[in-house]
Structure 1
Amino acid sequence: MDTVLKDAMVYLIAAGVLVPLFHRARIGAVVGFIAIGVLLGPHGLGRLAADVPLVRFITISSPQRVAPFGELGVIFLLFLLGLEFSAARLWALRREVFGAGALQVVLCAAPLAALLYLPFGHPGLALVVGLSLALSSTAVVTQLLVSEHRSLTAFGQLVIAVLLFQDLMVVPILLAVDLLGPQSGDVAWLALSALGKAAAAVVAILLAGRFVLAPLVALAASTGLRDLIMAITLVVVVGAAGLTHAAGLSAALGAFLAGMLLSETAYRHQIEIDLEPFKGLLIGVFFVTVGMSVDIAGVLPHAWLLVQVVAAVLVLKVAFTYAAVRLMGARRPVAAEASVLLAQTGEFALVVLGLLAARRLVDPAQMSTLVTAVVITLALTPLMARLGRRLGARLERADARDLEAPAAIVPLSGHVVIGGFGRVGRTVAAILARENVPFVAVDADPVRAAVERRAGRPVYFGDAGRLDLLERLGGDTASAFVVTLDAAGPAEGMAAAVRARWPKAAVVARARDAAHARRLAALGVSGVIPETVEASLQLAGRLLEALGLPEEVVSARIAEAREAERAKIAGGSGADGR
């Protein structure tokens, strides 16, 4: 017990000091926790514990005792992720799960197994290790997606769909590990038994979630006792994880299914709030245990081989994951970012390598090199994620060249040119469409322009302040210009360009605040609507209605206030002009 308490204190102190330093250096918490494990684990400073007694007090003595807490963190992470999904949403992802996910595993495992055949000399062993290396890290990737608030985006759901299929591959891979060792009994019966247990576990969780779990949580909530709700939630999470683990599946998959089943209840938000603080701390323990598995002294003599292994794994997984996702219809930028983000190997590879080492199927030197390579790819994930985002953005810009307005756009007359197609621009366009008023729009976001073009709307990519682009959009025959850009600088740039080329054109603009409105008015914009002012007027109008004033009186009061604000803007612009 004293050892466990000491290890917990070392972990908490190191996490409180080292992780913020890594965060400040923009390296990331994942790398920070792995570095803690490498530094303070048995293969780091722990090597000196026998000779320098004081070192025992600053190292983690028992990685085996800490590991279950880390696994619990992964379970809670996947449970919270499951709360953001629903059965309908998961069913909608079936093509990505069994299409992109299956292709990714097959396409990545084949070249990795071929590469491993030479050192192993055994096709079955090479295939098992290749399959385990083809899987990515559910813990690391989902943690990044959740922290960046991208888990519910189209990109995030594609990545999670691939990870879900990889979790389903746990059963056949573990079965293959068993078949590599000395076996008694019928192999076919063994395979059917394992798959049957896995299917039964999933069905049991789904049925229990529908007929037992949700009513049980509702009953606990009716008591008003938050402690009881939390206790039942913990039982649900750990029970579902234990059931899938006992059936040979990933425990994280069971937690995900439990979260998904509770996602449609009214208590999901309260559960998220209560569990969130524990998730981050426990996930940190998991990454620390990953770092403790690295034996730096053992792999240094094979450093060049290690570099080659890491490079080969990353390159092969990026290339074949990209091919798999593209074959399922994903766009180039999405496929590129997803393939780079999923390039690392997962924590399940450490489990498989441990089982193979225990059965003496893998040489100790090979084992050490592969384990270190797995950990290095995990530590590189935050960097790979940034590279993936940059690559995706670059491809988006390249694709956006096709979205620019052509030199000779379809002739228009009496149309409206909209600068910016965010929430305000889309609202304006929808109103114009209902009135059968033609419009064209320009937006600086290539993704948004691509989405709108695919939906059939005349939205082009580019800078709304460029005069040549406005001329391509038919500025000479436009009836009006609308400036809806978020940033003040680009909005004023478009207003100035329009006023310089078409001084008599009607220009209306949305302003961020009164100061921005005065600058636009000084540029000659006839109709300036400050967002903050208009929102305040609408709020005041609803308040007067709630207080019982007649509708005509409310309208008159709001109109008077609006005119007073317009007078202030006009007066301010005049003063600025002087």
Structure 2
Amino acid sequence: MDDSASHASYLLPVLVFCGAAVVAVPIFRRIGLGAVLGYLCAGVIIGPDGLALIGEPDTVAGIAEIGVVLLLFIVGLELNLSRLFAMRRDIFGLGLTQLLMTAGVAVLALTASGVPIRGSVVTGLALALSATAIALQTLEERGDLHTAYGERSFAILLFQDLSIVPILALVSLLGTTTALSTDNGSVVATLFEVARALIAVAAVVLIGRYLLNPFFRLLASSGAREVMTAAALLVVLGAAFVMESVGLSMAMGAFLAGVLLAESNFRHQLEADIEPFRGVLLGLFFMSVGMSIDLDVVFAHIGLLALAVPGLVIAKAVIGAAAGRIFGGKWRDNLKMGALLGPAGEFSFVIFPLAGSRGLLDADQVQIVTALAALTMLIGPIFAKIVDRVLERARPVEDTGHADLEAFADATGKVIVIGFGRFGQVVNQILLAQRIDVTVIDRDVDRIREASRFGFKVYYGDGTRLDVLRASGASEATVICVCVDRPETSLTIVEILSAEFPGAAIYARAIDRAHAIALMQQDVDYQLRETFESALTLGRAALEELGYRREDAIAVQDDVRRRDVARLMLQKSEGFLGGADLLHHGLAAVVTPEPLTEPPTSPQGLSAETRDILAGEDTAR
């Protein structure tokens, strides 16, 4: 049996990683820089060039990469093949344009600085790749993954993952004595590798299309939850392993498996099973990147890196925005997209050592470009945050062009509903049932497309923008219903409406109790927690099932509602702990239903037992 020291050797790194995460991430979130930067900085601090709490970061890099794999699987679950096919123009058009433009500029800069042309080509292509994990995590934190710029950013990242195999093949080809002196054997070997990759992709597609659903149905019939979790990990890691064995990205295999299961009945269960592993391992991945930064190399070339790191991030952002403009889209969205693409990609840590082993870069150059790539991952999220804040503050009325606002020319509704999600759709149904003219605004393109299929008219627009609200007729509206999903967005909209459109009554959806109190403090005319009334109704139905009369159950429901409203008012003035004495804690007196008006006749018992009970009550009085 192992001694206690050997167990402690495994336990200490786990404690270090967990401790670094729980300290750094809340701090960076609190100051508005996001979790990604918190993990990266934590990695630098605990790494070999920081406090040296983790001496060999390479030992965790392999496990940490699984976090990226699981992230891509969950993203794949949100898509499906038809939607992926609809994105083909952005994937292969915009993605290829961004990669070639960025690589071209990088090659020119590297060649001018004295790097040989073959090394410049490989390095330029590697630096043109972007950090998939950082970009997707940032989009997820913002809730923008399914916005227009979020989907286009993802399309570019997907194309970059697809381009990894050709880039690795190019490194092998350029690794010969001259750039063009490849023999037939090298060409045949390259074609063989490409064929293996295509066969592996076809195998994953066929298995996912015809075998995975029956496989999960069989496991679900066993009723063992832990087996379903193990099966989910088996599918994800198995697809990743197959792709890696033929030279493709592990993340690419996991993403493909997710897409194939996107229409499965088990999609939500798989996502719930994978999510805890994804969050922990993705944080570990970001910390491993931070630990990989060699501070000795950084300080030895501090002048060069001080210029190259921000220069690369800004150049990639500008080029990405320019590529996005070529393929249409708003300049604001293109700038956000470009800023997300600023950090170098995770696969650069594979390409650079390979280029060094093939003689395309010398040892010193490999160290410098590796440090450059790692530092862009550290600086990139900060730059993206700065760009996002600047764009949010610099928002003149005319910045979106006239075309978007002209779309509201026929919007004449006396009621405006902002947000057409599951809550807003029900609100809209109530209003349309009485033929009330409604103007509905949403910024989710998919929701708008789905609404049009059912005959609803939903305008594309951002409810946090004053120009959009004016164009939609907010100044003439009688009621404005704020039904968006995110509390912070809701509060921003309510603040704008209160200041600019005092004549409209504001009815707001509250996500939870804290959000409801915040809305009340902004003096909305009416707020309702999305789950409150449905929970009251369910509780009343449960009482009726237990044998209570319907009238009694309704009386209890009304009592809880009355207490809750009173408690909300106290919490608004006294803080979140106010009104705690109004709660039913189980030891409180049982609610005795009483009629609102005195009955005209005295009660009459219909059975001997009932007459005895009534007689006892009269005696007690």
Q: Is the 8 A contact 1:67 1:289 kept in 2?
A: yes
CA distance in 2, matches of 1:460, 1:93: 22
| Corresponding residue of 1:502 | none
Supply the AA of the counterpart residue of 1:482.
V
Distance 1:209 1:489 in 2: 46
Aligned residues between the structures: 517
Is the Cα contact below 8 Å between 1:135 and 1:166 reproduced in 2?
A: yes
Aligned residue among 59, 64, 73 for 1:70: 64
> What is the alpha-carbon distance in structure 1 between the residues aligned to residue 530 and residue 65 of structure 2?
52
Which ranges in structure 1 are unaligned for 5 or more consecutive residues?
Answer: 47-57, 500-506, 573-578
Partner of 1:33: 39
AA of the residue aligned to 2:356: A
**Sequence identity, in percent?**
30
Residue 201 of structure 1: aligned partner: 200
The verdict on how the C-alpha distance between 1:228 and 1:184 changes in structure 2, with shifts beyond 3 A counting, is: farther
SS in 1 for 2:479: strand
In structure 2, the gaps of 5 or more residues are 177-181, 483-489, 570-621
Structure 1 position 263 matched with structure 2 position 262: yes
1:215-254 equivalent positions in 2, closer than 5 A: 215-254=214-253
Q: Could you say which residue in structure 2 is the equivalent of 1:49?
A: none
Aligned counterpart, 1:81: 75
Deviation, structure 1 residue 346: 0.8
- 1:343-422 correspondence runs (5 A): 343-394=342-393, 397-398=396-397, 399-400=399-400, 402=402, 417-418=414-415, 421-422=418-419
Query: So what's the TM-score if we normalise by structure 2?
Result: 0.69
Q: Which residue of 1 aligns with 2:154?
A: 160
1:100-499 correspondence to structure 2 within 5 Å = 100-182=94-176, 185-394=184-393, 397-398=396-397, 399-400=399-400, 402=402, 417-418=414-415, 421-423=418-420, 481-484=478-481, 493=498, 497-498=502-503
Contact 1:113 1:129 in 2 (8 A): yes
Letter in 1 for 2:80: S
Superposed displacement of residue 323, structure 1: 1.3
Distance 1:123 1:211, change over 3 A: same
Q: Deviations over 1:266-317 (max 9, x none)?
A: 2232222222222223223323332333221233131110111112211221
Give the 3-state SS of the residue equivalent to 1:25 in structure 2.
helix
Match of 2:54 among 49, 54, 59: 59
Q: Structure 1 residues 537 and 249, CA, compared in 2 at 3 Å: closer, same or farther? A: closer
What amino acid is the match of 1:15? Answer: F
State the partner residue of 2:615. Answer: none
Which whole-Å CA distance do the structure 2 matches of 1:117 and 1:367 have between them?
A: 15
> Partners in 1 of 2:233 and 2:462 — Cα distance?
49
Deviations 1:197-253 (A, max 9, x none): 221111111011112222222211221122332333333222211211122111110
CA distance in structure 1 between the aligned counterparts of 2:349 and 2:184, rounded to whole angstroms: 28
Deviates more, 1:481-490 or 1:272-281: 481-490
Amino acid at match of 1:31: L
When residues 394 and 93 of structure 1 are mapped into structure 2, their CA distance, relative to the original with a 3 A threshold, is: farther
Q: Which amino acid aligns with 1:198?
A: A
Partner of 1:343, secondary structure, is coil
C-alpha contact 2:416 2:438 (8 A) present in aligned 1: no
The normalised TM-score by structure 1 is 0.74
Alpha-carbon distance in structure 1 between the residues aligned to 2:391 and 2:206: 40
**Conserved? CA contact 1:133–1:349, under 8 Å:** yes
Change (3 A) 1:351 1:388: same
Shift of 1:538: 12
User: C-alpha separation between the residues in 2 aligned to 1:152 and 1:379?
Assistant: 25
2:443–2:460 contact (8 Å) kept in structure 1: no
Match of 2:25 in 1: 23
Q: Do 1:35 and 1:291's aligned partners in 2 also have CA atoms closer than 8 Å?
A: yes
Closer, same or farther: CA 531–356 of 1 in aligned 2, 3 Å: closer
What's the CA shift for 1:36? 4.2
Contact 1:334 1:392 in 2 (8 A): no
- Measured in 2, the distance between the counterparts of 1:186 and 1:304 equals 44
| Secondary structure of the structure 1 residue equivalent to 2:154 | helix
User: Secondary structure of 2:478's partner?
Assistant: strand
Q: 1:65 to 1:491 in 2, by over 3 A?
A: closer
Distance 1:411 1:284 in 2: 48
CA contact (8 A) 1:109 1:127 kept: yes
**1:541-574 C-alpha deviation (Å, 9 max, x unpaired):** 9978x989xxxx99xx99xx9xxx9xx9xxx9xx
Q: Distance between the aligned counterparts of 1:303 and 1:492, measured in 2?
A: 50
Give the conservation status (yes or no) of the 8 Å contact 1:417–1:439. Answer: yes
Give CA-to-partner distance per residue, 1:309-368, whole Å, 9 cap, x none: 112211221111111112222222221111101111011111111112233432233222
Contact 1:333 1:396 in 2 (8 A): no
